[in-house]
């Protein structure tokens, strides 16, 4: 994929130097541009555990949203690269001035969090449509502008283009994600429960993690075991002399694997989210986005307990990032 994209970038830089699209030298770099992604897709279809599951494109919704995300990315590429080249080659700006001249797009793209909230409220379709219309509105007046057009007019177009891009990318990605088979998503479906065991604060609370209490979670684990077995059966793994210890060949059917998993799966000791962050009007929130405990002035909490949801990775890096951010803003709040 990297080879193909590099070749595509190089090919797109040739027409202006080699005499246009009719020059033979333009099409040479396009061969690896087309061949490399095609080979990547073919190998992905043949692999038992592909890095990129190209079979997802059989879903029409996934294909449409993926295409929409690709086009939004292409628009962003055009805005950031071609517009930057315009400022440098046509207007004679240096690198720093070019970066400053692109600030309109950056300001517009900063509405990405708003795009997420709008997607949650209205759905991806209307928000993505609004982004497409905004992009169109940005391009129509920008196309006929002369090369010596006022910078303010260009910044206005870049601002609209940035907003349109932000409104297009996130809804498209969200729409594609929800079409993916839930079994491939890492987040568990079941929810645990934490209760007080009594009035004595020294008594440990009652914690039920709800492990494998949802049938989809059981299905995910069964498929994980099946994947592990397929990998262990490959020639490189067999050459190491590996053998399955648990659950063993006796557990072959889905029912047998489910029974084994329910009896033996243990929790990964990275508890988090017991004092989640959120707004002051959220009854489940304990701290705000800077770790300040609601209703307790001067007290902050910065550890895994403030994560509003369990990350699908080990929590150490997530906590370090949160601590770095909150510590950086400590003197400004």
Q: Which residues are catalytic?
A: 270
Rounded to whole angstroms, the Cα distance separating 196 from 236 reads 51
Residue 314 three-state SS:
coil
- Angstrom CA distances, 259 to 78, 188, 263, stand at 54, 18, 6
Q: Which residues pair with 292 in a beta bridge?
A: 300
φ, ψ (nearest 5 deg) of residue 206? -90, 120
Helix (H) or strand (E) holding 156: helix 151-179
User: How many C-beta atoms surround the C-beta of residue 15 within 10 A?
Assistant: 14
> Six-digit token pair at 222?
């069964």
Length of the chain: 333
Residue 294 three-state SS:
coil
């Amino acid at each position: 994929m990297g080879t193909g994209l590099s070749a595509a970038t190089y090919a797109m830089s040739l027409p202006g130097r080699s005499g246009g699209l009719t020059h033979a030298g333009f099409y040479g770099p396009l061969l690896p541009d087309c061949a490399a992604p095609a080979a990547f897709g073919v190998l992905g279809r043949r692999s038992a555990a592909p890095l990129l599951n190209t079979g997802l494109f059989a879903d029409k919704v996934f294909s449409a949203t993926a295409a929409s995300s690709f086009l939004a990315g292409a628009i962003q590429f055009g805005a950031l690269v071609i517009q930057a080249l315009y400022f440098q080659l046509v207007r004679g700006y240096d690198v720093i001035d070019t970066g400053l001249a692109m600030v309109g797009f950056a300001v517009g793209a900063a509405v990405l969090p708003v795009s997420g909230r709008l997607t949650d409220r209205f759905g991806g379709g209307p928000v993505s449509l609004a982004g497409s219309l905004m992009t169109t509105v940005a391009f129509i007046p920008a196309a006929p502008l002369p090369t010596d057009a006022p910078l303010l007019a260009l910044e206005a177009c870049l601002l609209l283009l940035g907003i349109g891009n932000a409104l297009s990318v996130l809804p498209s990605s969200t729409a594609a994600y929800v079409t993916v088979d839930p079994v491939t998503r890492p987040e568990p479906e079941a929810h645990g429960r934490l209760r007080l065991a009594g009035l004595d604060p020294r008594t440990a609370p009652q914690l039920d993690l709800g492990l494998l209490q949802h049938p989809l979670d059981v299905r995910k684990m069964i498929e994980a075991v099946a994947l592990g077995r397929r990998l262990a059966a490959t020639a490189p793994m067999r050459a190491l002399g590996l053998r399955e210890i648990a659950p063993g060949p006796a557990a072959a059917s889905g029912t047998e694997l489910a029974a084994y998993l329910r009896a033996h799966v243990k929790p990964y000791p990275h508890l988090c989210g017991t004092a989640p962050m959120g707004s002051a009007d959220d009854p489940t929130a304990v701290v705000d986005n800077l770790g300040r405990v609601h209703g307790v002035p001067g007290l902050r909490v910065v550890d895994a307990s403030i994560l509003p949801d369990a990350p699908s990775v080990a929590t150490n890096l997530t906590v370090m990032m949160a601590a770095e951010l909150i510590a950086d803003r400590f003197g400004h709040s």
